Structure 1
Amino acid sequence: MNNTFSDNSQIATVSTFSELVQTNFKGEMNALCWYRNLDGDFNEIVARLSIKGNITEVYPEDLIALQLSEKGNTAREIILNDIQLLTDFGASPSLNLLKCYERDDEFDFISTDVYSFHVDRSPIATDTFLCTYHGAASDIIANSQAEQKILIPEIRTKLKELHDGPDEEFESFLEENYFDLHYQLNQDATPLNLGLGNLWRLAVDHPKQQVLPCIHRAPIENEGEYRLLLIC
């Protein structure tokens, strides 16, 4: 068990997939971790896959078609099993080979890309599941260590200047452009890296959610290294 995770009130650690999906979020806890030390050579899988553009979705049949060593095959079986577990649960997992995500550099005072700390929102009750098998892993932050960017006076002032409409439509403007989903860390904030091989379930902002949504971000990729990420 990873003490960094198990000693954190934001996170509950579990030892099975069943626990991961059946444990309820409560209080400050809005992230669940199925903590795993995975065997297998995930680097071999990444090396044998072909990337098209910055993001390529990898399907089970793509994995099955690879000629792999014993350790590479072990890694493949782990990924295929994770995909099957999530699919049987009713989720729609996507395995992505990533060079990088698209950047949002339209404004110098606020960003809405996934490299910015943000929360996910859904109109229906759902959660975000993710696992990084290879490459840089995502970060999360406690809600108490970050502030919604639209509440920061200087940013809010600039957003009001950007909004070309009546004052009563300003909040809708913020939501429609996803500005309200993004957060700025406090000076003493300490992000937590999600690590490799762990399968995470993160709370999403939706009408039935009982806890605050989990603030997270995609990592800056390591130079010359692809990420292999399962997400849904």
Structure 2
Amino acid sequence: MDNRFSDNSQIAVVSTFSQLIGINFQGDMNAVCWYRNLVGDFAEIVSKLQLKEDLTEVSMEDLYALQLSEEGRMAREIILSDFRLLTDSGASPALNLLKSYQRDEELDFISTDVYSFHVDRSPIGTDTFLCTYHGAASEIVANHQVEQKILIPEIRQKLKELYDGADADFEAFLIEHYFDLHYQPKPGARPVNLGLGHLWRLAVDHREKQTLPCIHRAPIEKNGEYRLLLIC
């Protein structure tokens, strides 16, 4: 097992799906990893799927329709099984074939796209699930190793210059435009790569949560290689 996971107080490592969804976040722990060594040829699936946009959602019908080798069929059955497990637990998984996400290039002093370390916010009590089957994998970082971007003086000052409204409404402006969800790693921060094949559950920003939300980011994609990602 990867010591980056088992020796990290932020991460709980489990060996079954029931443990993945059943364990409670507490203390510094806001990420759960169902650690797996998957078999099957996920690259074959990627090679036979059609990228229609930079991010294409793959239906289970499209996945079923692929003509695959035995290794490819093994990989497909793992994806289908993950979908069944998550759907039966009340989640709404999506399978994405991904060339790249849209970049936020509007402001040069703060980024609010998924390549920036950020947390997910939800109005209901839920969690984020993700698994990278192929391609570059996402990263998480401990909460004490980052600083909220809106609290960095030079960034906050530029946001105030951008804002055109009453001082009392400035915090609401930051929330409305999702600036408050993004974080800057401190010097010496040590992000953890989530690896391939492991199914993760990450805490989100919600008023009923008992722990801090998990800070994560999408990776820069490898040149010429698509990602195959389950997320919900």
TM bucket (normalised to shorter chain) is: over 0.9
What SS does the aligned partner of 1:161 have? helix
The answer to whether 1:137 aligns with 2:152 is no
**Residue matched to 1:48:** 48
Q: Which runs of 4+ in 1 moved over 2 A?
A: none
**Residue matched to 1:58:** 58
For the aligned residues, what is the CA RMSD? 0.4
Question: How many Å separate the matches in 1 of 2:61 and 2:152?
Answer: 47
Question: How many Å separate the matches in 2 of 1:172 and 1:37?
Answer: 44
Summarize deviations over 1:97-153 as a string: whole Å, max 9, x none. Answer: 000000001011001000000000001100000000000000000000000000000
Question: How many Å separate the matches in 1 of 2:2 and 2:189?
Answer: 20
**Residue matched to 2:13:** 13
Structure 1 position 4, deviation (Å):
1.3
Question: How many Å separate the matches in 1 of 2:199 and 2:100?
Answer: 21
Question: How many Å separate the matches in 2 of 1:89 and 1:50?
Answer: 29
Structure 1 position 53, deviation (Å):
1.3
Size of the aligned set, in residue pairs, is 232
What SS does the aligned partner of 2:117 have? coil
Question: How many Å separate the matches in 2 of 1:175 and 1:135?
Answer: 32
Summarize deviations over 1:36-91 as a string: whole Å, max 9, x none. Answer: 00000000000000000101101111111000000000000000000000000000
**Residue matched to 1:32:** 32
Superposition TM-score, scaled by structure 2 size = 0.99
Question: How many Å separate the matches in 1 of 2:4 and 2:155?
Answer: 33
- Identity across aligned pairs (percent)? 74
What SS does the aligned partner of 2:105 have? coil
What SS does the aligned partner of 2:140 have? strand
What SS does the aligned partner of 1:195 have? coil
Gaps of 5+ in 1: none
Superposition TM-score, scaled by structure 1 size = 0.99
**Residue matched to 1:155:** 155
**Residue matched to 1:92:** 92
Gaps of 5+ in 2: none
